[in-house]
Amino acid sequence: MFITRACRFLLTGGLLVCSLVAAAPSGAASELSRARAPRVYSWDALSLLEARASLAGGASTLQPALTKLTAEAERALKLRPPSVMDKSLLPASGDQHDYFSFGPYWWPDPSKPNGLPYIRRDGDVNPTSKKNTDDTAFGQVGDAIQTLGLAYWFTTDERYAQKAAQLARVWFLDPATRMNPNLQHAQAIPGINDGRGIGIIESRHLTTIHDALALLDGSPAWTAADRAALIAWTTAFYTWLTTSPHGLDEQGERNNHGTWYDVQAAHLALVLQQPAEAKKILTAGLTRHLAHQILPGGAQPLELARTNSLNYSCFNLEALFSCAQLARHVDIDWHHYTTTDGRSLRAALTYLAPYVDPAKPWPKSDVVAADRTRLIPLLHAHLRQHPDSEARPYYVKFAANSPASARWRLLHNAPLLFSP
> What is the predicted pLDDT for the residue at 416?
54
Give the highest mean pLDDT range of 50-64, 171-185, 393-407.
171-185
* pLDDT for 18: 41
DSSP secondary structure of 370-394: --GGGHHHHHHHHHHH-TT-TTHHH
DSSP type of residue 108: -
Q: Give me the mean pLDDT over the 379-398 stretch.
A: 93
- To the nearest 10°, the Cα dihedral for 314, 315, 318, 322? -160
- Using DSSP's 3-state secondary structure scheme, residue 189 falls into strand
Q: Which pTM value belongs to this model?
A: 0.92
Q: What is the rounded average pLDDT of the residues 127-140? A: 97
Whole-number pLDDT of residue 221: 98
Burial of residue 387 (number of CB atoms within 10 Å: 0-12, 13-18, 19+)? exposed
What are the structural domains, with CATH classification, of the chain? Answer: 1-60 (no CATH), 77-251 (1.50.10.100), 254-372 (no CATH)
Q: Which residues contact 317 (CB under 8 A, 6 or more apart)?
A: 300, 348, 349, 352, 375, 378
Residue 175: per-residue pLDDT: 98
Q: 352-373, pLDDT tens digit by residue? A: 999 999 999 999 999 999 999 9
For the chain, what is the mean pLDDT?
A: 91
Q: What pLDDT is recorded for position 418?
A: 53
Is residue 403 predicted with pLDDT exceeding 90? no
Confidence of residue 2 (pLDDT cuts 50, 70, 90): very low
3-state helix, strand, coil split of the chain in percent (to 5) is 55, 5, 40
Q: What pLDDT sits at residue 60? A: 84
pLDDT above 50: residue 1: no
Per-residue pLDDT tens over the stretch 17-63:
443 444 444 555 555 545 689 999 999 999 999 999 999 998 888 99
**Closest among 374, 336, 338, 375 to 354, alpha carbons compared:** 375
9, pLDDT greater than 60:
no
Dihedral Cα 251, 43, 2, 29, nearest 10 deg: -150
pLDDT in tens, 100-118: 999 999 999 999 999 999 9
For residue range 205-219, what is the model confidence (pLDDT) as tens digits? Answer: 999 999 999 999 999
The rounded Cα 82 to chain-centroid distance in angstroms is 20
Does the pLDDT at position 119 exceed 90?
yes
DSSP designation for 327: H
pLDDT of 232 higher than 90: yes
Q: Give residue 390's identity as a one-letter amino acid code.
A: E
Does 247 have pLDDT greater than 90? yes
- What pLDDT score does 44 carry? 96
pLDDT one-digit tens code per residue, 299-348: 999 999 999 999 999 999 999 999 999 999 999 999 999 999 999 999 99
* Residue 400 pLDDT greater than 50, yes or no: yes
Cis peptide before 377 (omega within 30 of 0): no
| pLDDT at residue 269 in the model | 98
pLDDT, one tens digit per residue, over 53-94 is 999 998 888 999 999 999 999 999 999 999 999 999 999 999
Asked if the model's pLDDT at residue 415 lies above 80, the reply is no
Confidence (pLDDT) at 59? 80
| pLDDT of 21 | 41
pLDDT of residue 31: 53
Whether the pLDDT of residue 402 is over 90: the answer is no
